Amino acid sequence: MNTEDAANAESTRMIHPATDDTLVLRTAAPVLQRGTTVLLDDYECFGRKAPTYGRGGLATQAALRQSLCDLEGGEVAELYPSGLAALSGAILAVCRTGDEILVCDTIYGPTRRFAETTMADYGVATRYFPADIAPGDLAAMIGPATRLIVLEAPGSLTLDMLDIPAVAAIARERGVLTLVDNTYAAGVLFKPLAHGVDISVQALTKYVCGHSDVFMGSAVASGEVGALLKRGARSVGWAVSSDDAYLALRGLRTLHARLARHGAAALEVATWLRGQPAVREVLCPALPGTPGHDLFARDYSAGNGLVTVILDGPESAEQAFLDALRLFGLGFSWGGFESLAIPCNGQIRQRHFAADTSNPVIRLHVGLEDTADLIRELDGALSAFAAAVGEDTQTGTGQPAGNIGAVAPSGRDAQGDSVINPAVAQTPPTMGV
Ligand SMILES: *Cc1c(COP(=O)(O)O)cnc(C)c1O
């Protein structure tokens, strides 16, 4: 401490301590820098371009942004305080009043709610299309007001595949932007920007943070779209805490290893489920022979931990299955270390294009537990389900198993026509994850 500083009062010295910069060592762990105020070296710094305030992020957020640009192959990565905020932030950043957005019907539910509430209030209209729409039909939906096409694949809950490169090519030709919710792939299993998509959004909350304890989202883009994202994020004032950014950076260190393990375990569970008599259908595009596998195999390097199973019996028997689970927690979300299960029919009924929901549709997240333990638990839950179906059939309160029209995972009715679900107009927007 120089003599001038040593002369200051104790209270002043606590605020302006003698610091030794040589003590800031390089560590294997990411850097954690907290702060709001950035101290400038001198008067000239007030005019410089470099960050002068902490809202846009300090060293920790900068390191995370850099890694996300690397992962997704983009020039600009913006951070948001949740995955939903990343989706809404990116959509707001590129749309103006009078625009229209085209949204895939199997999109994450809260994205639908955002489009139908806030965007509608701002004079941006939304139209939906089914995940299996023919590229020509989608091209025909594009009008002069169409600004953005919002995609997600595999889709939420039913894991429907979409031909993203084909949609991106059509959109580009017509001067329309595309945004992919790339949460399933965690930026690793599929690279939207390399397939012609303009914006890749992720809920980092899921696999990147990976431990069920952080909310965060990202949007990555390049060129003019990247500049729009940046402008939108800066003008609205999105900020994420340094501690959360640190946890996201820590998650990135093990992301590939965790994803590989989730993906392999999910394939094992899906393969086992497919052979069970109480299972009507397994939705897991990474598994050969399931819906969407060909597209998936073409564009994705591997699957994640999600598997959706359609049980063979009435919906009234799903409680027996879910209440028999212990290792699989009953909880929304996925992408953490743990196994989870949720019933999906309530959310699927919010969609505009009909899917058969007469059988229980259960989404599983296969966690990092021992897979044999998980399969043993699912075996018991399927037995409980089969017993409940038997009781149901005897008392005549439910439909007998195996007597229900084929599920149309494509979102089409039996004739293959697109149908608008009349229940949608009366039901409130979906809230689930
Ligand atoms: C969870 C999820 C989100 C939202 O992430 P939050 O951080 O919970 O807001 C967005 N998209 C998909 C596909 C998700 O699964």
Q: Could you list the pLDDT tens digit for every one of the 433 residues in the chain?
A: 677 788 999 999 999 988 888 888 889 999 999 999 999 999 998 888 888 899 999 999 999 999 999 999 999 999 999 999 999 999 999 999 999 999 999 999 999 999 999 999 999 999 999 999 999 999 999 999 999 999 999 999 999 999 999 999 999 999 999 999 999 999 999 999 999 999 999 999 999 999 999 999 999 999 999 999 999 999 999 999 999 999 999 999 999 999 999 999 999 999 999 999 999 999 999 999 999 999 999 999 999 999 999 999 999 999 999 999 999 999 999 999 999 999 999 999 999 997 889 999 999 999 999 999 999 999 999 999 999 999 877 775 544 443 333 333 333 333 333 334 444 433 433 444 5
- Is the C-beta atom of 108 inside 6 A of ligand 1? yes
Q: Is 0.85 surpassed by the pTM of this model?
A: yes
Q: Which two tokens stand for residue 429?
A: 């927007």
- Is the C-beta atom of 242 inside 6 A of ligand 1? no
- Is the C-beta atom of 180 inside 6 A of ligand 1? no
- Is the C-beta atom of 433 inside 6 A of ligand 1? yes
Locate the ligand 1 atom nearest the alpha carbon of residue 204 and give its number: 7
- Is the C-beta atom of 217 inside 6 A of ligand 1? yes
Task: State the catalytic residue, choosing from 181, 299, 312, 392.
Answer: 181
CB 105, CB 160: distance < 8 Å: no
Please report, as a single letter, which amino acid is at residue 177: L
Annotated catalytic residue 181: yes
- Is the C-beta atom of 314 inside 6 A of ligand 1? no
Annotated catalytic residue 274: no
Task: State the catalytic residue, choosing from 108, 128, 184, 207.
Answer: 108
Would you state the CATH architecture of domain 43-250? Answer: 3-Layer(aba) Sandwich (3.40)
CATH homologous superfamily of 254-408: Aspartate Aminotransferase, domain 1 (3.90.1150.10)
Annotated catalytic residue 108: yes
Domain ranges of the chain: 43-250, 254-408
Q: Residue 427 burial (CB < 10 Å; 0-12/13-18/19+)? A: exposed
CA distances from 423 to 104, 208, 432 (A): 18, 36, 18
Pocket test for ligand 1, best of 87, 152, 206 (most atoms within 8 A of CB): 206
Please report, as a single letter, which amino acid is at residue 32: L
